[in-house]
Every structure is written in structure tokens, then in C-alpha cells.
């Protein structure tokens, strides 16, 4: 004896409801990636050859939010167009389009932008400026997001100076202060970027000295995947030893995975930095 078709359909739908994972368990893949500016002197590693690899890497790993560094205006436009992403951020030289960006790209089908801004890593953070002993203007771009399932959180993306040690330490103090000022609601925060310091550096330590902040690499449920460093300098024959690209987290979230990705094409890397990926849930 066969059951009526409507009964079979209703039974199937009931099973889907009973055994479907709850929406709140949805995970999010977030990454920091210094993509290397479009330098015409990078013979053998020109942006025109690397761009498809950068884009495909983000697509393949299903990264929904990525903070990039060293991004020029045309690179920003190309990434967003090819990925179907939107982005926030300004050029560090004029607060508009000149100089490198440290933007946050996001998938608008999954995340809604609620608020955003950029400040300079200097004693005068509201205007284009160079801070302390830094060699260059440096910035932090931030965004407040709501995900499809209703999770609300902040993302901060930085690129610290490569020369000035005082500037790097003071930048950490400044960003800590700014996050406290901006995040009045106490939402979860993801703070990532090219910090240009290894974990032993005081600029890194001043962050972990704050009880609320954790390095995602150290608290991931799975042991961190990948090499022991993030800067390759495009050198295929040398595996880097020092991690200078970091993702820190604060608040009610769980880090499931952390990985330093060494995707390559024909013994070439998409950038002179390896991207750092985390998968997390709120």
C-alpha cells in the first residue's frame, strides 16, 4: 500500500526541518591578504599575471570578507568587479583615491554594511598624516556588518609601518582605543591585517596583554594549518619563518580554523605575502 503523495512530501519536509542545522551555526570565512601593490618592477610577478590568481584564491576558499593591503585604486576596482564584492576604505595619501588602500571587501549577498570609516595611525588620526617614526602614512579601515542570519560584528583592517617600531607599538595602542570608542555596543570584533611584526614584538604583545583580545591562530579548534611565516617575498625556494600577518578576535565568537595559505601557480605565489584565513561562528 503506497502513501499519498502529499503525505510523503510532508514527511520529507518535516525531516528537513528536524535535521537541518540551525541558522545560528552558520560559519564565516574571513581573511587578511596583502596583495602587493601593482609594481611595474616586479618582473616575473606582475599584477596582470597575479590578479586572476588572487581572485580565484578568494573564490575557491569561499571567503566572504577579506581585508587587503597595498591596494591601489585600479586593483580595488578589479577585485570588486571580478568577485562581485563591495568594499570600504580610502587612499592613505588624501583620504580619497590617492595612495594605497587598506580596504575591507565583502560579499553583499551575505553581509550588510551598517557603518564604516577610516582613521590614520598617527597622533592626528582624523586627517591624512604620518605618525611617530613611521616612514609612510598608515591607516586602519573599519566596518560594522550584519550577516544574513543576523549576527552583528565589527571588522578592523590595518597595515602597520614597515620601518618605525615606535609607530607600530603606538598604532596598536591607538587601534585598541579606537575600537573601544567605536564599539559602544560591545559587539564581537575581528581585527586583522599586515602588522609588520612577529609575535615577540611589543606591538603584538600590547594587544594580547589586553584580556579581551586573542590571536585567532592560538585559539582555533584545529591546530593552525600552513607554514610558520607569512612573508615570502615571492621567493619559491625560501619558506618564511615569521608570522607578520595576524587576525585577532574579541567577544562572543568561536574560531574553528586558522590557516596560512600557500596556494601557488607554476612555482609562483599570488602575492609576496600569504593570505591568512579563519573560519568562525558567532
pLDDT tens by residue, 77-91: 999 999 999 999 999
Which structural domain, as residue segments, surrounds residue 233? Answer: 23-281
Instruction: Please report, for the domain that includes residue 180, its CATH number.
Output: 3.60.10.10
Q: Does a structural domain hold residue 79?
A: yes
Contact 35, 45 (CB under 8 A): no
Tell me the mean pLDDT in the region 194-204.
98
Q: Does a structural domain hold residue 7?
A: no
Query: For 70, phi and psi rounded to 5 degrees?
Result: 65, 35
Q: Does a structural domain hold residue 136?
A: yes
Nearest CA among 214, 257, 255, 263 for reference residue 236: 263
In the chain, the number of structural domains is 1
Q: Does a structural domain hold residue 13?
A: no
pTM: 0.91
Query: For 178, phi and psi rounded to 5 degrees?
Result: -65, -40
Q: Does a structural domain hold residue 2?
A: no
Q: Does a structural domain hold residue 113?
A: yes
Q: Does a structural domain hold residue 127?
A: yes
The span from the CA of 261 to the CA of 275, in Å, is 6
The span from the CA of 196 to the CA of 80, in Å, is 26
Q: pLDDT tens digits, residue range 235-255?
A: 999 989 999 999 999 999 999
Nearest CA among 259, 282, 258, 260 for reference residue 273: 260
Is 80 exceeded by the pLDDT of residue 9?
no
Q: Does a structural domain hold residue 251?
A: yes
Contact 54, 35 (CB under 8 A): yes
Angle at 99 between CA 77 and CA 117, to 5 degrees: 75
Amino acid at each position: 500500500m503506497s502513501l499519498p503523495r502529499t503525505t510523503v512530501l510532508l514527511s520529507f519536509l518535516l525531516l528537513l526541518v528536524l535535521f537541518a542545522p540551525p541558522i545560528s551555526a552558520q560559519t564565516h570565512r574571513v581573511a587578511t591578504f596583502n596583495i602587493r601593490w601593482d609594481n611595474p618592477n616586479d618582473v616575473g610577478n606582475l599584477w596582470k599575471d597575479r590578479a586572476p590568481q588572487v581572485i580565484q584564491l578568494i573564490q575557491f576558499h569561499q571567503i566572504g570578507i577579506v581585508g587587503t593591503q597595498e591596494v591601489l585604486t585600479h586593483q580595488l576596482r578589479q577585485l570588486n568587479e571580478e568577485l562581485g564584492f563591495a568594499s570600504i576604505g580610502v587612499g592613505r595619501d588624501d583620504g580619497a583615491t590617492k595612495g594605497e588602500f587598506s580596504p575591507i571587501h565583502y560579499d553583499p549577498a551575505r553581509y550588510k554594511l551598517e557603518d564604516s570609516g577610516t582613521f590614520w595611525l598617527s597622533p592626528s588620526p582624523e586627517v591624512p598624516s604620518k605618525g611617530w617614526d613611521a616612514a609612510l602614512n598608515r591607516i586602519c579601515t573599519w566596518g560594522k556588518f550584519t550577516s544574513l542570519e543576523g549576527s552583528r560584528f565589527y571588522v578592523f583592517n590595518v597595515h602597520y609601518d614597515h620601518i618605525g617600531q615606535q609607530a607600530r607599538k603606538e598604532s596598536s595602542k591607538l587601534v585598541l582605543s579606537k575600537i573601544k570608542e567605536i564599539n559602544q555596543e560591545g559587539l564581537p570584533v575581528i581585527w586583522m591585517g599586515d602588522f609588520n611584526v612577529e609575535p615577540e614584538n611589543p606591538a603584538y604583545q600590547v594587544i594580547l596583554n589586553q584580556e579581551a583580545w586573542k590571536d585567532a591562530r592560538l585559539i582555533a579548534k584545529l591546530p593552525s594549518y600552513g607554514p610558520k611565516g607569512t612573508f615570502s617575498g615571492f621567493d619559491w625556494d625560501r619558506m618564511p619563518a615569521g608570522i607578520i600577518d595576524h587576525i585577532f578576535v574579541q567577544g562572543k565568537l568561536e574560531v574553528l580554523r586558522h590557516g596560512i595559505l600557500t596556494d601557488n601557480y607554476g612555482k609562483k605565489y599570488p602575492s609576496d605575502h600569504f593570505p591568512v584565513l579563519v573560519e568562525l561562528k558567532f
